[in-house]
Amino acid sequence: MSSDTFLPVPLDAELKSQLGKIASTIRVLSMDAIQKAESGHPGLPLGCAELGAYLYGHLLRHNPRSPDWINRDRLILSAGHGSMWLYSCLFLAGFGLTVEDLKNFRQLHSKTPGHPESFVTPGVESTTGPLGQGVGHGVGLALGLKILAKKFNTEDFRLINSKVYVLAGDGCMMEGVSAEASSLAGHLNLDNLVVFYDSNDISLDGPLTDTCSDDTKMRYRSYGWEVYEVNGHDFEQIDKAVRQAIHHQKKPVLIIARTTIGKGAPTKAGSAQAHGSPLGEEEIKKAKMALGLPDEKFYVPQAVLTFFQERLSESTQLEGEWKKLFENWSRTFPEKRKEFDTMLKGSLPTDLETQLTNLSVKTPTSGRKASQEVLQLLADLSPQLYTGSADLSSSDMTTLKKFPIIGKDHMGGRTIKFGDREFGMATCAVGLDQTKMILPVVGTFLAFSDYMKSGIRVAALMRSKIVYQFTHDSFFLGEDGPTHQPIEQLAGLRSIPRLHTIRPSGVHEVKMAWVAALFYQGPTAIILSRQNIREIPETFVPYAEGMGRGGNIIRQEKRQADITLLATGSELPLSLDVADALEQIGKSVRVISMPCWALFDQQPESYRHQLLGPSAGKRVSIEAASEFGWHKYIGSDGIAICMEDFGASAPPSLLAQEFGFTVEEILERILA
């Protein structure tokens, strides 16, 4: 484990025979489970059975008894519809799945859902299903491991030297996100990444020739990858390519495995019929007969069980050797060990809120600049924090000024330039989080979050700890016009379960938004202004009394409230100006800052009732975005001061008048 070069032992006749038996077993288990569920995708599990046998029976350096071992090899199934392939492999390898789990494939609360979910099934590295995203996860994970290797490895101790393997299909190759991520991987020379491409020339709708005629080999070579092509059913060809690929690997590797979809199914192999539907009892019976196996449900030969039991023992010994290496390294480099533990635990200072509160930031300033100042402090306090941007770091303010930019020869930096690859960045962020030692902070303009939405959704499903810094948060960005001015994006992000979407106002709320993000075990989107926002002293309250509640009163009515104004971000100062004008004509007004709906919804009903119950009077929301979702808080008869169409290109002050975000226009709406 002290060497960067690992080569599996050469295949001999006996080992090839064993791997063949494993491949047949993967086919049987997959066919039976899918048939029992009356649902699923048998094509990939049957077509990639030899790849599964080779990976789990020979290549992967991991310990199924310790699935979170830091220096394990990772396998990500990007083509997540082929999940029974992965479950069969995990079952045989000893990751704790049982035959009953396989029988419960695709059933409620089972460990074997229709697509792999990392938080459900031991050994599943990544939640996959939306095609191509697993490639991005693999790229991010490989990059993260390279970063950790640079930080912690020494000449005598190769603490982090594992590989990331991805199994992708034709659909993954066609999805644009895989191109974005693969281009970045080639640019960064990620020499710890190997992607197996299950090239079977069949997609769900029919032959691949109906939709695609790419020269994938040349495309990946142009990205800067090493490319190999093999018969995906020939163990010797697979082994030869792998050994050549990972021996002193210098670049990311693509191994194009030519396979037959549904191989072993007598009448459906090689056709779209094998892709996404159970094969049928008669087809399965004939397939088992051709394999020389009994017509028995979920049959596993004893020789296969014995093989994996012996491999389990070897895997435990492998991790044990690494632990000895780790302890020797710890004694030799105690300061490195201390930082390692900080990153692994995600430790934060106990006085984080105090330190952020005391951080001096010149005001008035924009949300993005306030967050930039916060990030500089957090970089010093949290070695696990790494930032990145989709070619907008000078605008979204994500750069960590004290640290260099990460590059192929500079993995010691702390800021990643993802280029104009927003979707790829979103998936790579998931991979960085999967190291469990890196907290990724990635940024772009809020309008471009749409490019990232599917990746953010998967991150939320996985509860990945990622912070998205979205700037230029409304039409107030001005002259760039409606293509860049977000309208519906806030509502879209707020609708994603498990994602905390926070739109803070002044500097103090920005600081407290970071407290919320750092202590939340899931993804957070912090939405920030381009323009300066004046400070509101009433927001200067402790986290637990303000941001931690998602919404809080910043101006209390003097008597029974006639009107309650709810606002976020740059519209919070405007709401106070509106309140002043209403009070001048005798109205009693309550003003609520509402930066995070998700946190507010978690508050006790008594607190929510206190703010928005009958005592609130007429409720009015003020936000320079779509009204979608606001009526949950203002009621069906509430007034939403919002954007009802796209913006326009003009200076912000003129746009405020054009779209009714002035005190006079809002007063007219309320009093009408």
Q: What are phi and psi of 260, to 5 degrees?
A: -105, 115
Given the DSSP bridges, would you call strands 202-203 and 206-207 parallel, antiparallel or unpaired?
A: antiparallel
**Which tokens sit at 73?**
């090899």
Spatial separation of the C-alpha atoms in residues 232 and 664, rounded to whole Å? 70
Residue 585 has pLDDT above 50, yes or no: yes
Other residues' Cβ atoms within 10 Å of the Cβ of residue 613: 10
**Which tokens sit at 632?**
């949950």
- Enter the DSSP assignment of 413: -
**Which tokens sit at 172?**
């993954």
407 in Cβ contact with 184 (< 8 Å): no
- Enter the DSSP assignment of 567: E
Spatial separation of the C-alpha atoms in residues 570 and 530, rounded to whole Å? 10
**Which tokens sit at 662?**
């002035």
Residue range 395-410, pLDDT digits in tens:
999 999 999 999 999 9
From the list 568, 531, 562, the residue with the least C-alpha distance to 369 is 531
User: Higher model confidence: residue 27 or residue 3?
Assistant: 27
Average pLDDT in the 304-321 region? 97
Residue 6 has pLDDT above 80, yes or no: no
Residue range 188-246, pLDDT digits in tens:
999 999 999 999 999 999 999 999 999 999 999 999 999 999 999 999 999 999 999 99
From the list 371, 377, 379, the residue with the least C-alpha distance to 359 is 377
Which pLDDT does position 4 carry in this prediction?
A: 54
**Coil, strand or helix at 586:** coil
Q: Is 169 exposed, middle or buried (0-12, 13-18, 19+ CB in 10 A)?
A: buried
Residue 82 has pLDDT above 50, yes or no: yes
Domains parsed from the chain with CATH numbers: 13-319 (3.40.50.970), 352-539 (3.40.50.970), 549-671 (3.40.50.920)
Residues 6+ apart with CB under 8 A from 288: 28, 294, 295, 299
Spatial separation of the C-alpha atoms in residues 323 and 326, rounded to whole Å? 5
Residue 5 has pLDDT above 90, yes or no: no
Residue range 356-415, pLDDT digits in tens:
999 999 999 999 999 999 999 999 999 999 999 999 999 999 999 999 999 999 999 999
Q: Peptide bond preceding 252: is omega within 30 degrees of 0, i.e. cis?
A: no
660 in Cβ contact with 669 (< 8 Å): yes
Spatial separation of the C-alpha atoms in residues 570 and 269, rounded to whole Å? 60
Spatial separation of the C-alpha atoms in residues 332 and 43, rounded to whole Å? 51
Tell me the percentage of the chain whose pLDDT exceeds 90.
98
Spatial separation of the C-alpha atoms in residues 534 and 505, rounded to whole Å? 9
From the list 3, 43, 1, 51, the residue with the least C-alpha distance to 23 is 51
Spatial separation of the C-alpha atoms in residues 165 and 193, rounded to whole Å? 6
Q: How many CA atoms lie within 13 A of 262 on its CB side?
A: 28
Residue 2 has pLDDT above 50, yes or no: no
Average pLDDT of the chain to the nearest whole number: 97
Which pLDDT does position 217 carry in this prediction?
A: 98
Q: How confident is the model at residue 3 (pLDDT cuts 50, 70, 90)?
A: very low
Q: Which residues are catalytic?
A: 422
